[in-house]
Structure 1
Amino acid sequence: MFPIRDHNPSGRVPFVTYALLAINIAVFLSYWFTLRSGYELGAFYYTWGLVPAQLMQGHGLGGLITHMFLHGGWLHLAGNMLFLWIFGDNLEDEMGHVGYLLFYLTCGLAAAGLQVIGNPWFDGPLVGASGAIAGVLGGYLMLFPRARVDVLLIFIIFFRVFSIPAWIVLSVWFVVQAFHGYAATEDGVAYLAHIGGFVAGAMMVLPILLRRGGRAFWARNEGMPPHPEAKYKLSPSRIPRVPKR
């Protein structure tokens, strides 16, 4: 089950979100088709990714920023860009272009910081925008907990799109990250970075929420977007309906 869109259109053109999408995709294509061997690709990641062990020795500081624009494969890139596409525009709408860009980069730094603190002498490169995007998810949860999100459920051969509140989608996502982070799951995913970015994003959006009235902001809109939500025609289910008698 994963989200495919929300019903929360932005009130302005999200130039920064579009730019981040374009930069991430362009950077990925620039090295994915030019580096011919696994050795070249690995050396590239070590040079431009974030290596905690090097950072602890005072080296590779630039990787704190550059690692946010690298990805380890097509699925890694597609998953991150999908979440950024769905949730990024609304935060940019609330924060403004410059504020949102600073927010995004700060979440990425917070995510990297927690990952380094959790495993400071790890000698492999960390790459991906997921820490920064996790911050976007945390901020979205704070501002629009009841905005409707369409998710695609795939169960063997059964496919269904349905709408659920954003707080369910994002809370489940965070719980999964927290579980794997607590269990120290070793599958190549930087779960601590996801946790750090999410928490940082939620905390940085808190002042914005308070300026808009805190609970009063939620009460005015019932936790939903402060503007008319987008309408989509969902595909009907093939499961027959049994009427009540």
Structure 2
Amino acid sequence: MIDRRAAAGRILRAATSGGPPVTYALIALCCVVFVISPLSGFNPVYGTADALLAAQAGYFERWGVIPSELWDGSAHAVLTPLTALFVHGSWLHLLGNMLFLYVFGAMAEERMGHTEFAFFYLGCGYIALLAYAAAHSTSDQTLVGASGAISAVLGAFLYLFPRARVTSLFPFLLFLPLRFPAWIVLVFWFVLQWLAAEGAGSGPGVAYLAHVVGFATGFLYAWGRYHREARALRPDQAG
């Protein structure tokens, strides 16, 4: 268990120094990419009606992961698990991902440090999309979104801050904003993703498998990277 007083001090320093720059930069980049892309509908360069639909399809094919093409060895295909992390299919897709990144990314970044968090986010996101593509290697359906990387952030958060409390909206509680221990929220989320992945069938739809792989990768990374520090704490420091 990490030293809660030390963690609180680091978070306070981050807040007074302008916040977590990597988390904010990732959110800003995803938002800017979406707004200027043909997906937002705001950019008149892409036209309207059929021209806009064609531009959107071409945009997905250029920047998203196409599992059946990922293994052809081309430099472009190898890079798509990175570029796809910054492409979102709709406003709802974008805002949902950015909300989770905003809530959980700041504390994870402060714990890891800015540079490590950036490489962690990109690396885990790449692995999550790669795993999904491997499981659907014959699929021609394009995969986009930061969900795999954000899932890794959630997994790391669960290990690093198991006793933190977060405000969550649970649909079976009429979407009332209630505060729960983070581990309850994240374990509940993980179980839902796992069940959805099991019931998704053979064809790729929503990339639940990428969520599960990302979450597990993030948790295992945090455990491997920080469990020795936790064991080294004196008994009176443990939370």
In the alignment, structure 1 segments of 5+ residues that lack a partner are 1-7, 223-245
Q: What is the identity, as a one-letter code, of the residue corresponding to 1:65? A: L
Taking a change above 3 Å as real, the CA distance of residues 159 and 104 of structure 1, as seen in their structure-2 partners, is: closer
Residue 161 of structure 2, aligned match among 139, 144, 152 = 144
Match of 1:240 in 2: none
CA displacement at 1:159 relative to structure 2:
5.0
**For the residues of structure 1 that align with 2:237 and 2:200, how far apart are their CA atoms?**
41
**For the residues of structure 2 that align with 1:79 and 1:51, how far apart are their CA atoms?**
23
Q: Is 1:68 paired with 2:85? A: yes
1:93 aligned counterpart, secondary structure: helix
Ranges of 4+ aligned residues in structure 1 off by more than 6 Å = none
What percentage of residue pairs aligned between the two structures are identical? 40
Contact 1:16 / 1:92 at 8 angstroms: preserved in 2? yes
- Post-superposition Cα deviations, 1:4-26, rounded to whole Å, max 9, x if no partner, equal xxxx7824220000000000000
Taking a change above 3 Å as real, the CA distance of residues 174 and 154 of structure 1, as seen in their structure-2 partners, is: closer
**For the residues of structure 1 that align with 2:103 and 2:235, how far apart are their CA atoms?**
21
Moved more, 52-61 or 96-105: 52-61
Q: Is 1:112 paired with 2:129? A: yes
Match of 2:73 in 1: 58
Match of 2:191 in 1: 175
Match of 1:200 in 2: 217
TM-score by length of 2: 0.82
Residue 48 of structure 1, aligned match among 47, 63, 66 = 63
Please provide the CA RMSD for this pair: 2.2
Q: What is the identity, as a one-letter code, of the residue corresponding to 1:198? A: F
**For the residues of structure 1 that align with 2:80 and 2:152, how far apart are their CA atoms?**
19
Q: Is 1:88 paired with 2:105? A: yes
CA displacement at 1:211 relative to structure 2:
3.0
**For the residues of structure 1 that align with 2:95 and 2:235, how far apart are their CA atoms?**
32
Moved more, 112-121 or 63-72: 112-121
Alignment of 1:192-231 (within 5 A): 192-214=209-231, 220=237, 222=239
2:192 aligned counterpart, secondary structure: helix
Match of 1:14 in 2: 20
Contact 2:108 / 2:117 at 8 angstroms: preserved in 1? yes
Residue 131 of structure 1, aligned match among 148, 158, 162 = 148
2:105 aligned counterpart, secondary structure: helix
Q: Is 1:99 paired with 2:116? A: yes
Structure with greater strand share of residues = 1
Contact 1:209 / 1:217 at 8 angstroms: preserved in 2? no
Q: What is the identity, as a one-letter code, of the residue corresponding to 1:204? A: Y
Contact 1:135 / 1:198 at 8 angstroms: preserved in 2? yes
In the alignment, structure 2 segments of 5+ residues that lack a partner are 1-7
Match of 1:26 in 2: 32
**For the residues of structure 2 that align with 1:215 and 1:174, how far apart are their CA atoms?**
29
Taking a change above 3 Å as real, the CA distance of residues 144 and 190 of structure 1, as seen in their structure-2 partners, is: same
Number of residue pairs matched by the alignment: 214
Match of 2:138 in 1: 121
**For the residues of structure 2 that align with 1:114 and 1:142, how far apart are their CA atoms?**
22
Residue 182 of structure 2, aligned match among 162, 166, 171 = 166
Q: What is the identity, as a one-letter code, of the residue corresponding to 1:180? A: A
**For the residues of structure 2 that align with 1:87 and 1:218, how far apart are their CA atoms?**
27
Moved more, 186-195 or 49-58: 186-195
